[in-house]
Amino acid sequence: MAYQVFVSHTKDDVEFCNMFDVACARVGVKAFRSEFETIEIPQWKTIKEAMENSIAMFLLVGKQLVAHQASPSPNWKYTQNWIAYETGLACQAGIDVWVFCDNVEINFPVPYFNNYEVWGVSTKKQVEFLKGILNRYNSGQTFPVPTWDRNTKCPHENCRIEFNLHSTLAPGKVIKCPQCLGDMIYKKGFLYSES
């Protein structure tokens, strides 16, 4: 049986989304693409059913999605509402929620996630990493918190969300917490290792 992953994204992040799709196709994972702009009506139902049939949700945070934040367009509010709805459904379903950034800093809060990757898929190695993750899902494996030694926690008192970090960070690297948008400083760096 082929597993499905639920992919939240904006169609404006063309290249990033295509890379993700290709990776899914290579490993034989079905990708349900939920474009914020075009969701089949009734939208809540399409999304709910697709989520119920998915083993994980990936929120693709690309350059255009981040740029939306500064946009005066009312569409952004609409998009943000769908992100909240989708992550809520995924949380309720108990499936993994990935914040998967394309080497951009996330600039809008995500109410729930449990896996985080910051570097995207712009190099061959990163594509291989993603395929490895998707392969594991395709064999029915999931990444609950904590998985191996990737577990980390937001240091901010009003947040403290725990998640698996899948990115190697150089000492002193600062990344944003996707939930509270606070800075997380990795003084000693963070070593991602395949287990």
Q: Which residues bind Zn ion (CB under 5 A)?
A: 154, 156, 159, 177, 179-180
Min CB(161)–Zn ion separation in Å: 5
Min CB(168)–Zn ion separation in Å: 20
Distance between CA 81 and CA 155 in Å, rounded?
Answer: 26
Min CB(24)–Zn ion separation in Å: 29
Min CB(174)–Zn ion separation in Å: 13
The smaller minimum CB distance to Zn ion, of residues 37 and 183, is found at 183
**Residue among 24, 57, 23 at smallest CA distance from 125:** 23
In 38-123, which ranges are continuous DSSP H helix? 43-52, 63-68, 75-93
Distance of CA 75 to the CA centre of its chain: 21
The smaller minimum CB distance to Zn ion, of residues 128 and 162, is found at 162
The smaller minimum CB distance to Zn ion, of residues 39 and 181, is found at 181
Tokens 């909240």 found at: 84
Any idea what DSSP says for residue 140? T
Distance between CA 72 and CA 83 in Å, rounded?
Answer: 18
Residues, the chain? 195
Min CB(164)–Zn ion separation in Å: 15
Report how far apart, in Å, the C-alpha atoms of 27 and of each of 21, 31, 76, 89, 93 are: 10, 11, 33, 25, 24
The smaller minimum CB distance to Zn ion, of residues 54 and 114, is found at 114
Amino acid at 178: P
